[in-house]
Copies of this chain bind each other. A is one copy, B any other.
Amino acid sequence: MFAERGFDGATIRGIAGVAGVDPALVHHYFGSKDKLFLEAVAAPADPDELLPEVLAADRDALGAAVVRMALRVWDGPARHGGLALLRSAVGNEWTAKLLREFLVSKVLRRVVATLGFDPDERAARASLVASQLIGMVMVRYVLRLEPMASASPESVVAALGPTVQRYLTGDVVLPEP
C-alpha cells in the first residue's frame, strides 16, 4: 500500500482491510502509521529522531548539515541495514518505490519544506539533493572508491556540502520534462 499509494495515501484502516484484520490490531502491533511505514521499509534509522538537528541549522548551513547527518548515519551501526535496503531497492521495483517514498516523505520533503518554494520547485530541488546524497552513499560505502571511501566525514562535508546547499537554496536550473 505504501509503495502503491505513497505514505500519505495509505491508511492503517486500508492496510488492515487488505490484511483481513481489525485496524486496532495493526495499531496494537505497530503503533502509528509512521512506525508501520518504517517497519515496511526496514529503515535502519528513524528520521523523526535525526531531522530536528538538521533542521536547526541556519539556511546557509543546511547543505552541510544534511551531508553531515547522512554521514553520521551511514558511518554508524545503521550502515548494515542501509546497505540491505539499498540492495533490495536496486533489485526490486517495489522496494525501490518504498525507498523512494521513504526518502521523499520522511526526509527530503521535510528538509525542503522549510525553504519556502512552490511545490514543483521543492520536488525538483529534493530530487537534486537525493542525487548527490545517494551517489555519496554508493561511492563511499558500496563501490568504496578512494579517496571518498576513507575520507574524514568533515572533508566530505566540505566537498559535497556546497553542492547540496546549491540544490537546496542556490541558483540552479530545475530538472523538468
Task: Report which A residues bind B (CB closer than 8 A).
Answer: 83, 86-87, 89-91, 96, 99-100, 103-104, 120, 123-124, 126-128, 130-136, 138-140, 142-152, 155-156, 158-160, 162-163, 166, 172-177
Minimal Cβ-Cβ distance residue in B for A143? B100
List 16 other contacts, CB 8 Å, given A87-B91, A100-B145, A131-B139.
A96-B144, A103-B145, A120-B147, A123-B147, A124-B147, A124-B148, A127-B146, A127-B149, A130-B139, A130-B145, A131-B132, A131-B148, A133-B135, A134-B138, A155-B175, A159-B175
Interface of A is mostly: helix
CB distance from A138 to the nearest CB of B (A): 5
